[in-house]
Structure 1
Amino acid sequence: MLEIITSVCLLIGAFFTVVGSIGLVRLPEFFMRLHAPTKASTLGVGGILLASMAYAFKDGLLIHELIITLFVFLTAPVSAQLLSQAALRLKLKSKARLPE
């Protein structure tokens, strides 16, 4: 049962990581490109870390995975915020249409 849970978490994590990577390549402008890997890849790394936790559960040591998870989920939004703030200060124009 533990192998099935690990495999499902790995597949979910890999799916979101691939979706974030495709979004990074295919989206047309900076702000859209910033959104795709920040959201989707964070979920992807979360799924892979859940799989790592499930695999390490049999040894009883989960502290390393918990620390990595905390670090990833705290730093990814902060780095996206800092990148978007830098782009706004450089007056990078968005090509997105505003709602009327």
Structure 2
Amino acid sequence: MTVLEYLIAMLALLGSLFVVVGSVALVKLPDFYTRLHGPTKATTLGLGSLVLASLLYFNAVEQVLSLQQLLIALFLFITAPITAHMLIKAALHQQLKTAKATSGKEQAKLKAD
């Protein structure tokens, strides 16, 4: 195997790991604000890694640069933060509450902030 194949495999595995972590965060975190953080950060990075791995693979195999994949990556990195910002503004406008702290340390920290 060449170095390029190892790089493609590493990007695909790393991207898959980030997508899984972001998806689990979407399900497991306690409130809307923290749930939104997982998909906008980890999942975007994971999908970017997967698109980059795909771009490298098809460039190496078919010797053609796929502009569609570049546009997918560009669209992904532009729209994810904008969408997250709009969702947070809507949640703040509706005065959506955050999750309650469970331990005494967390409650003291929230009161100090």
- Name the TM-score, length of structure 2 as normaliser: 0.82
Q: How many residue pairs are counted as aligned between the two chains?
A: 100
Point out the structure with max Rg over C-alpha: 2
Q: Which amino acid counterpart does residue 53 of structure 2 have in structure 1?
A: A
CA distance in 1, matches of 2:99, 2:32: 9
What is the aligned partner in structure 2 of residue 14 from structure 1?
16
User: CA 1:98/1:42 → structure 2, altered by over 3 Å: closer, same or farther?
Assistant: farther
Residues 24, 68 of structure 1: CA spacing in aligned structure 2 closer, same or farther, 3 A cutoff? same
Q: CA RMSD in A?
A: 1.4
CA–CA distance in structure 2, aligned partners of residues 98 and 53 of structure 1: 48
Unaligned 5+ runs, structure 1: none
Task: Extract unaligned runs of 5+ from structure 2.
Answer: 101-109
**3-state SS, counterpart of residue 57 of structure 1:** helix
Within the candidate set 39, 49, 73, 2:51 is matched to 49
Q: Which has the higher contact order (CA 8 A, sep 6+)?
A: 1
Cα offsets for 1:2-52 (capped at 9, x unmatched): 322211110000010010011111100000000011100001001101101
Query: Following superposition, which runs of at least 4 residues in structure 1 exceed 3 angstroms of deviation?
Result: none
CA displacement, residues 40-73 of structure 1 (integer Å, 9 cap, x when unaligned): 0001001101101111212222311110000000
Is 1:77 the equivalent of 2:81? yes
Give the % identical residues. Answer: 45
